[in-house]
Amino acid sequence: MADGVSASTQNQALAALRLLYDAVLARPLKRVDEFAAAPKRRYVPTVLSERELRTLLAKLRPLPRLCAELMYGSGLRVSECVAIRVKDVDLDRLEIVVRGGKGGNDRRTPLAERCVDPLRRQLARELDRFESDRRRDIRTTGVGEALLRKYRNADREWRWRYVFASVRTVLDASGVRRRHHVDESVLQRAIPDAARAAGLSKRVTCHALRHSFATHLLETGADVRTVQQYLGHKDLQTTTRYLHPNNRGRLGVRSPADRL
């Protein structure tokens, strides 16, 4: 790997060169032994303990805290969390349907009981704003033309509304005012800030909550294939990186130093 350049950056540059020579110059780039695709480093995922999670959540304001609880309790990516629509939350069956996740696939994932009451309150607040928006013809974003041909008023209906809708509205290219979901950056700033305020020494990101969801499920005996489905991993090998023996609490391998 080149000095100071990550594997993904080097591979992106190599791919760009190949595209230039193949598609533009029509002179396929010959193999150069000294310049090959760089292997990606395998990182150990950051996993928070239950104590650290409680401390982190206590430092968050209500909306980021609910999002953090969903990312940890349901194994959601930050992009999936902010884009949840009303129709995809089932408070009775305690599940969330993730639409168009990574790879464009849908999946079902569990909803924690502790999130039910905060979600009800969030939905009630959002319903009040939705009624106001409907009177002013402010519609929801992310409803494609193909879907609108099938459901003509989908972008005006409550069930297509984002659970975490943005405070601001935008004008689209056709002059229609719409309301998008909360930006991912709101959570990407709030969670590391809360971790620092809580005095956590680990590098805490939104994705660390998803890592913690997977690890804690496996520690409690969940089947790895079940966890794979909840996370939406295409490859089982991606899920098995959470199967470290030293991540299984008292049931795992003990350090030999404990026998001294």
DSSP string, 125-190: HHHHHHHHHHHTT-EES---HHHHHHSTTGGGSGGGSBTTEEEEEEE-TTS-EEEEEPPHHHHHHH
21 is catalytic: no
- In this predicted structure, the answer to whether residue 257 has a pLDDT above a threshold of 90 is no
The model's pTM is: 0.81
CA 9 to chain centre: 23
Q: At what angle do helices 224-231 and 206-219 cross, to 10 degrees?
A: 160
The pLDDT, as a whole number, for residue 55 is: 97
Q: How many residues are recorded in the chain?
A: 260
Average pLDDT, the chain: 87
Interatomic CA distance for residues 48 and 57, integer angstroms: 12
Q: Rounded to whole angstroms, how far apart are CA atoms 248 and 110?
A: 22
Catalytic choice (102, 129, 134, 244): 102
Query: Active site includes 102?
Result: yes
Q: What is the CATH code for 50-128+183-249? A: 1.10.443.10
Q: Residue 96: enclosing H or E segment and its boundaries?
A: strand 95-98
241 classed as catalytic: no
Residue 71: which of 218, 213, 215 has the closest Cα?
213
Report the pLDDT averaged over residues 122-145. Answer: 95
Q: Which of 77, 139, 179, 181 is catalytic?
A: 77
Catalytic annotation on 107? no
Q: Is 210 a catalytic residue?
A: yes
216 is catalytic: no
Q: Which of 99, 107, 134, 207 is catalytic?
A: 207
The whole-number average pLDDT for the span 36-65 is 87
How do the domains of the chain map onto residue ranges? 6-41, 50-128+183-249
Give residue 246's pLDDT band: very low, low, confident or very high (50, 70, 90): very low
Query: What are the Cα distances from residue 201, in Å, to 180, 196, 222?
Result: 34, 8, 28
The residue from 85, 178, 179, 210 that is catalytic is: 210
